[in-house]
């Protein structure tokens, strides 16, 4: 099983869905929007999408990280004072061990100037808060099996695989068929019951998106 790590040994996290979150600071509205990126061209497309979502905003500041080694990064102040928006957004992304995503922070100006320090804090906070409510995933290369067995073995199987596998599919026909992938390479948990299986066949290793949890199994 291969997992994507950053240079500090932390597991890299990915997103699948668009997420938004709004904060208000001194009458200005800041809306953080997270977009998943599947290719570099998605950056421009999603910034355009943010403008379609909130067409009357005064600024669309952004930052992105892309690549297994974070080899591609962008930032934009979009008219805000230099280094008060795009770079703060990017720094927050980097501290969250994420990749292949774009964060656009949309601002509706409320009439009160925040100053450079205030803007840095506002754009950082908008980014942090939308990240805090986002659901993240890990990408893993996992070893899989298709296992066929009789119905009386279901409870035993479910207890064994609950925390150490990702079940892709369950089929309940004449016999029960599970297609599952192991989170760890050791598959010896079946040694005591595999004689009860009707069949067991290896599946090709796959890169799967697994919900990220801070407490690892």
pLDDT band at 207 (very low <50, low <70, confident <90, very high): confident
pLDDT of residue 46 exceeding 90, the answer is yes
139-211 matches 19-135 in CATH topology: no
DSSP assignment string, 40-64:
TTHHHHHHHHHHHHSTT-SEEEEEE
pTM flag (> 0.85):
no
Tell me, rounded to whole angstroms, the distance of Cα 177 from its chain centroid: 30
Contact status, residue 58 vs residue 93, Cβ threshold 8 Å:
no
pLDDT of residue 6 exceeding 80, the answer is no
CA-CA distance, 201 to 126, in Å (whole number)?
48
Q: What is the pLDDT of residue 217?
A: 39
Residues 6+ apart with CB under 8 A from 138: 3, 4, 11, 12, 13, 14, 209, 210, 211, 212
CATH number assigned to the domain covering 139-211: 3.30.70.120
Q: What is the pLDDT of residue 185?
A: 59
pLDDT in tens, 165-180: 778 899 999 999 999 8
Q: Average of pLDDT values for 136-157? A: 91
Find where tokens 């979502």 sit: 53
CA-based radius of gyration for the chain: 23
Better pLDDT: 141 or 56: 56
CA-CA distance, 22 to 32, in Å (whole number)?
6
Tell me, rounded to whole angstroms, the distance of Cα 27 from its chain centroid: 31
**Number of Cβ atoms within 10 Å of the Cβ of 57:** 20
Q: Average of pLDDT values for 32-59? A: 97
**How many CA atoms lie less than 13 Å away from 58 in the CB half-sphere?**
10
CA-CA distance, 132 to 91, in Å (whole number)?
15
Q: Average of pLDDT values for 109-127? A: 97
3-state secondary structure of 202: strand
pLDDT in tens, 18-28: 999 999 999 99
Tell me phi and psi for residue 158, to 5 degrees. Answer: -60, -35
CATH of 19-135, one of 3.40.190.80, 3.30.230.30, 3.60.70.12, 3.30.70.100: 3.30.230.30
Ranges of each domain in the chain: 19-135, 139-211
Q: Average of pLDDT values for 187-215? A: 83
Q: What is the pLDDT of residue 96?
A: 93
């Amino acid at each position: 099983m291969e997992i994507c790590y950053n240079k500090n040994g932390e597991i890299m996290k990915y997103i699948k869905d668009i997420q938004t979150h709004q904060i208000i600071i001194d009458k200005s509205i800041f809306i953080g929007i997270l977009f998943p990126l599947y290719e570099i061209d998605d950056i421009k497309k999603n910034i355009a999408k943010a403008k379609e979502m909130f067409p009357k905003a005064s600024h669309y500041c952004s930052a992105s990280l892309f690549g297994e080694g974070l080899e591609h990064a962008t930032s934009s102040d979009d008219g805000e004072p230099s280094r008060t928006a795009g770079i703060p957004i990017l720094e927050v992304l980097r501290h969250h061990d994420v990749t292949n995503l774009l964060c656009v922070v949309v601002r509706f100006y409320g009439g009160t100037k925040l100053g450079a320090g205030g803007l840095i804090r506002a754009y950082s906070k908008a980014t942090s808060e939308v990240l805090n409510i986002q659901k993240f995933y890990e990408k893993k290369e996992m070893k899989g099996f298709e296992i066929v067995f009789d119905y009386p073995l279901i409870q035993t199987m479910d207890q064994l695989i609950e925390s150490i596998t990702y079940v892709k599919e369950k089929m309940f026909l004449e016999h029960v068929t599970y297609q599952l992938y192991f989170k760890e390479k050791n598959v010896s948990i079946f040694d005591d019951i595999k004689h009860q299986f009707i069949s067991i066949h290896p599946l090709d290793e796959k890169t799967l998106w697994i919900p990220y949890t801070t407490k690892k199994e």
